[in-house]
Amino acid sequence: MTKLVPILSAHWDEKDSFTIEAYTRNGGYKASAKALSMDPDAVIQLVKDSGLRGRGGAGFPTGMKWGFIPQGDNKDHYLVVNADESEPGTCKDTPLMMANPHVLIEGCIIASHAIRAKYAFIYIRGEVTHVVRRLNQAIEDAYKAGHLGKGIELVLHVGAGAYICGEETALLDSLEGFRGQPRLRPPFPAIAGLYARPTVVNNVESIASVPAIITNGAEWYQKYGTEKSKGMTLYSLSGHVVNPGQFEAPLGITLREILEIAGGVRSGHKLKFWTPGGSSTPLFTDAHLDIALDYEGVAAAGSMLGTKALQIFDETTCVVRAVLRWTEFYKHESCGKCTPCREGTWWLVQILRDLENGSGTEEDLAKLLDLCDNIMGRSFCALGDGATSPITSSIKYFRDEYIAHVTGKGCPFDPVASTIFSTTGAR
């Protein structure tokens, strides 16, 4: 009955799942051996055929991205894994690397072989020191076991804690030792990426998905998912839900189905709003419970699948307060390069703060929407766009709640009620 398909997460519940022994015991490093015996172009073709799409949020076909790397150009190529998972609500790569770092390493070996890279880099956010330690150990073990170091070197680079470094070109700047700020494109990383060499930048989950595709074939992968969104993926459920966590299911599952598996919204409460793919994706309400959670389904409903970070908020949550929190995050993390994001988030926070504490006006809503219109699509990178999503979508669905803040001269919610330690919530 369950719709879950644990492939990446198949062995997460084994005590030693993160060790090379467990990984090998469960069939690990056979895919890389197989891939290394294949022609690199055949590996790329296989990944293309599987329909695997980037799991970092944009959903760009992974095989096609690999195919963009110019071949026979006598230049060094690089693989860079984006493990700078920092989006509020997104928590899939971190547990993946924690529970099974070797599948990522094996994916790196296969991808490097496919794009003819001798060096692969994993850029990981600096805050997750436990994962850094575990990955370091895993890389060391993979070297000892001879999986790495024979034509493919893997380097783990620890970031210094900037959301912007999850943007692939900012990540490359940071990896090169500069301040992380997005680069002007073109040239795209596939032509001039790390150290101005052809570079593939992939999300952790995308790369980790590759070994299973090599082992089981493209057709096997194609069986899962929907027409244009193939395969299975990790949905991360968090917030007001009974059993939060990662749920691996074929693309196209609905929130209603996942919520069922996860035990539903916390007892005595009902779903108010949720994000389909992290805070940068326009939020949904309980009216969207049956939307297919694949790239097309979510987009058709006016949002983005993003990182499949399903943050669940029940009716105790003040949407204005939640949006203010997110906006404060974007203001804090704006890199400062472009005007709309840098100045816009500075301003948005001030208006939202006024609204939340009751000193706002109804005209502020129009101003907020107009400001968002001046930021969305005007900023240098997607971070500025993302900052506007929670605001515009929350005003769309919860305008009355904003107005209630104005007319009631303050927030009508008890902030304690929405906390995990609230007596009403924990009932």
Q: Does 333 bind another protein (CB under 8 A)?
A: yes
User: Contacts with another protein in 140-159 (CB under 8 A)?
Assistant: none
Residue closer to another protein by CB (options 380, 398) is 380
- Cβ atoms of residues 168 and 159 within 8 Å: no
The window from 152-160, 190-198, 372-380, 411-419 that contacts another protein (CB under 8 A) reads 372-380
Residue closer to another protein by CB (options 1, 184) is 184
- Other Cβ atoms within 10 Å of 12 Cβ, number: 17
Per the DSSP assignment, residues forming a β-bridge with 250 are: 232
Among 34, 48, 75, 179, binds another protein (CB under 8 A): 179
Q: Does 323 bind another protein (CB under 8 A)?
A: no
Pick from 307, 322, 299, 304: nearest CA to 89: 307
Among 263, 268, 336, 408, binds another protein (CB under 8 A): 336
d(CA 245, CA 266): 14
Among 31, 152, 258, 338, binds another protein (CB under 8 A): 338
The window from 56-64, 117-125, 190-198, 333-341 that contacts another protein (CB under 8 A) reads 333-341
Residue closer to another protein by CB (options 151, 195) is 195
Q: Which amino acid appears at position 299 of this protein?
A: A
Number of residues binding to another protein, judged by CB under 8 A? 32
d(CA 93, CA 97): 6
User: Contacts with another protein in 106-135 (CB under 8 A)?
Assistant: none
- Cβ atoms of residues 135 and 101 within 8 Å: yes
Pick from 236, 11, 40, 221: nearest CA to 103: 11
d(CA 36, CA 38): 5
Among 15, 146, 184, 227, binds another protein (CB under 8 A): 184
The window from 68-76, 204-212, 367-375, 410-418 that contacts another protein (CB under 8 A) reads 367-375
Q: Does 331 bind another protein (CB under 8 A)?
A: yes
The window from 68-76, 146-154, 251-259, 328-336 that contacts another protein (CB under 8 A) reads 328-336
Among 45, 339, 357, 419, binds another protein (CB under 8 A): 339
Count Cα neighbours of 168 within 13 Å in the Cβ-side half-sphere: 21
Paired tokens of 315? 């009716």
The window from 73-81, 87-95, 127-135, 375-383 that contacts another protein (CB under 8 A) reads 375-383
Q: Does 379 bind another protein (CB under 8 A)?
A: yes
Paired tokens of 104? 């990522």
Q: Rg of the Cα trace of the chain?
A: 22
Pick from 263, 289, 262: nearest CA to 276: 289
Q: Does 343 bind another protein (CB under 8 A)?
A: yes
Taking the complex as a whole, how short is the minimal distance between the CB of residue 362 and another protein, in angstroms? Answer: 14
- Other Cβ atoms within 10 Å of 146 Cβ, number: 9
Taking the complex as a whole, how short is the minimal distance between the CB of residue 186 and another protein, in angstroms? Answer: 9
DSSP state of 70: P
Q: Does 258 bind another protein (CB under 8 A)?
A: no
- Other Cβ atoms within 10 Å of 340 Cβ, number: 21
Among 332, 396, 399, 409, binds another protein (CB under 8 A): 332
Q: Does 365 bind another protein (CB under 8 A)?
A: no
Among 89, 250, 306, 340, binds another protein (CB under 8 A): 340
In the three-class reduction of DSSP (H, G, I as helix; E, B as strand; rest coil), residue 386 is classed as helix
Q: Does 210 bind another protein (CB under 8 A)?
A: no
Taking the complex as a whole, how short is the minimal distance between the CB of residue 345 and another protein, in angstroms? Answer: 7
Query: Which residues, in sequence order, are CB contacts of 382 under 8 Å at separation 6+?
Result: 167, 280
Burial 124-136 (b: 16+ CB within 10 A, else e): bbebbeebbebbe
Q: Does 281 bind another protein (CB under 8 A)?
A: no
Q: What is the β-pairing status of strands 119-124 and 78-83?
A: parallel
Among 335, 355, 406, 411, binds another protein (CB under 8 A): 335
Residue closer to another protein by CB (options 3, 342) is 342
Q: Which residues bind another protein (CB under 8 A)?
A: 162, 164, 179, 184, 331-340, 342-347, 350-351, 367, 370-371, 373-375, 377-380
